[in-house]
Amino acid sequence: MTIKDQIESILEKAVKKALKTEGEIFIQYPSDILHGDYAANIAMKLAKTMQKNPREIAEQIVKNIPKNTLIKKVEIAGPGFINFFVSEKTLKSEMSKVLKEKAKYGKCNEGKNKKVIVEYSSPNIAKPLGVHHLLSTIIGQTLNNILGAVGYKTISMNHIGDWGTQFGKLIYAYKKWGKKEILEKDPINEMLKLYVKFHEEAEKDPKLEDCARKEFKDFEEGDKENRKLWEWFVVESLKEINRTYKKLSGIKFDFTLGESFYEDKMEELLEEGKKKKIFVEGDEGSYIAKFDDENIAPMVIQKKDGATLYSTRDIATLKYRIKRWKPEKILYVVDMAQNMYFKQLFETAKRFSWYKDEGFHVSFGRMRMEDMQMSTRKGNIILLDQVLEEAIKRAKKIIGEKSPDLKNKDAVSEIVGVGAVKYNILSQNRSTDIVFDWDKMLSLEGNSAPYMQYTYARAHSILRKASAPKKEAKTSENKSEIDEKISQLLRTIPKFREQLIYSAHEYKPNLLCQYLYELAQKFNSFYNSVPVLTAKEPKERLFRLKITQAVSQILQNGLALLGVAVVEEM
């Protein structure tokens, strides 16, 4: 139980006792630390229905809060806020908890016995990963980690796009313009070239689209040559994609099942849907699902030539997942351009008896370049590999300047560079679009992963030196300033568990980032004005070392969830 939960429960009881009513308790962090650690606005909320002055109500509630060791004092302030100040004892015991639980600190069993499938990354095969793939990949992986930390049993899935008309296009393009030797030498780039060429040519001659559809249809019906090409394309692409995941580090899937995996599961689904009139005939012999809401366009489920679509595969996939894993929820970490599609998908699924509203679209904003859309079709993409390499290069350059004597420069540059890229994505609210900019994406200062890693490294630098012979104590300490910094740092610790849970509920990694940043800021402020190793009193020295240890532990745990590693020195 978090401190916030405990206060909530204390308050709830007090409200019941004092007013014989129940109100929705909402605890928030006051904007100003002078207003305490937690605040409740319940008195103001109840003022109207009770026709009483909110401050009077607050007083009645406060009178009914029993004495306890959790809270130091309760204040009524402003128009009727009830402000809680957490006792030092509570804060110190939370700090001890960190030191005791170490890497496990923060974990809870909120989601116990609940299974969640998280689908993310899901690249289309035969195309290299672009920077924009970072969004689904990193956000998805992090949500998977966060949900796991708060106790959910997560199943991470990479739903590879290895099926569909795009392969018709590629097969057609290869047959027409491709050369075996070239493709063997540099598979992914050659496939991309062919794919781009196809779209260029198709612009001039739209009939090519039909040719591609035909190739896909032949393929789906078992054409040997096309099957063989497909396999080749898939194998080569996967090799490349996995290489990139490795570079990103921390990207792990419990299952990588391509759309092709569901090939033999679509027919049964189509029959079921048609029989139940969920899929009805549309134009020219196609099958569609219609919706009452006229703002939702009908969804095509089978093309007029009988071939399947992504919608067909997605519903088959949904059914398969529900039957096999019986999850509480299935999260689709997919860009918001597909908002309507997911509405269609889930609406359709609702009509099947096996679906119980498991699906949830975790949508996120799009990444684009300053002046144009990123489009694989048009070939204007920035490769993910390229971005990671540049990030590492920049990190290395700075290390060369700032820490020329550092031992493992290469390893550190990689951790810092890749971390910066990941954090950059994760720290932004996922619904906001991102305009790709090299300098911003690879920033190594301010609110960034390196800032946190640096904070961690400084903390550990202190801890490493703690056992060395004691240095001379400082002659004078600014007591009030020191107390203030320590208090602020201490009060930030319990929020970790609270914000982690909040972040899991909202599926928003940026909430966790924000917390970690706040903690790091407070620590840096502490670092600059509170001497640790040279503390005057031995007792004080020990205590400051403990806080340092606790804070660095939280930073490490939190960053680990974000897939960002820490370094001892940088």
Task: Name which of residues 316 to 345 contact RNA (CB under 7 A).
Answer: 336-341
Question: Binding to RNA by residue 259, rule CB under 7 A?
Answer: yes
Is residue 483 within a helix (H) or strand (E), and if so which, with residue range?
helix 479-492
- Nearest approach, Cβ of residue 104 and RNA (Å): 25
Binders of RNA among residues 195 to 224 (CB under 7 A) are 209, 213
Question: Binding to RNA by residue 482, rule CB under 7 A?
Answer: no
- Nearest approach, Cβ of residue 336 and RNA (Å): 6
Question: Any alpha helices (H) in 221-338, and if so which ranges?
Answer: 224-248, 266-275, 310-325
In the complex with RNA, which residue's Cβ is closer, 1 or 468? 468
Question: Binding to RNA by residue 72, rule CB under 7 A?
Answer: no
Contact call for residues 427 and 514 (beta carbons, < 8 A): yes
In the complex with RNA, which residue's Cβ is closer, 36 or 327? 36
Binders of RNA among residues 5 to 34 (CB under 7 A) are 26, 28, 30-32, 34
Contact call for residues 249 and 340 (beta carbons, < 8 A): no
Q: What is the sign, positive or negative, of the torsion defined by CA atoms of 433, 243, 245, 118?
A: positive
- Nearest approach, Cβ of residue 430 and RNA (Å): 8
Is residue 72 within a helix (H) or strand (E), and if so which, with residue range?
strand 71-77
- Nearest approach, Cβ of residue 386 and RNA (Å): 20
* Site stretch for RNA (CB under 7 A), options 225-233, 278-286, 316-324, 557-565: 278-286
Distance CA 380, CA 390 (A): 18
Choose which of 298, 352, 385, 390 interacts with RNA (CB under 7 A). 298
Distance CA 281, CA 297 (A): 15
Question: Binding to RNA by residue 540, rule CB under 7 A?
Answer: no
* Site stretch for RNA (CB under 7 A), options 148-156, 271-279, 297-305, 383-391: 297-305
SS3 481: helix
Count of C-beta atoms within a 10 Å radius of residue 105? 20
- Nearest approach, Cβ of residue 192 and RNA (Å): 15
Q: Cα–Cα–Cα angle for 293, 296, 300, nearest 5°?
A: 125
- Block residue for tokens 């990479």: 158
Question: Binding to RNA by residue 514, rule CB under 7 A?
Answer: yes
Q: What is the sign, positive or negative, of the torsion defined by CA atoms of 559, 562, 564, 565?
A: positive
Choose which of 176, 323, 402, 470 interacts with RNA (CB under 7 A). 402
- Block residue for tokens 């890749």: 418
Instruction: Give the pair of three-digit tokens for residue 469.
Output: 């012979």
- Block residue for tokens 């009805």: 280
Question: Binding to RNA by residue 527, rule CB under 7 A?
Answer: yes
- Nearest approach, Cβ of residue 486 and RNA (Å): 11
Distance CA 277, CA 300 (A): 14
- Nearest approach, Cβ of residue 41 and RNA (Å): 4
In the complex with RNA, which residue's Cβ is closer, 248 or 289? 289
* Site stretch for RNA (CB under 7 A), options 88-96, 133-141, 383-391, 448-456: 448-456
Q: How many residues does the chain have?
A: 570
Contact call for residues 502 and 511 (beta carbons, < 8 A): yes
In the complex with RNA, which residue's Cβ is closer, 353 or 467? 467
Question: Binding to RNA by residue 487, rule CB under 7 A?
Answer: no
Kindly write out the interface string for residues 150-179 of this chain, putting x where it contacts RNA by CB under 7 A and - elsewhere: -----------x-xxxx-------------
Kindly write out the interface string for residues 219-248 of this chain, putting x where it contacts RNA by CB under 7 A and - elsewhere: ------------------------------
Distances (CA, A) of 222 to 217, 219, 225: 9, 5, 9
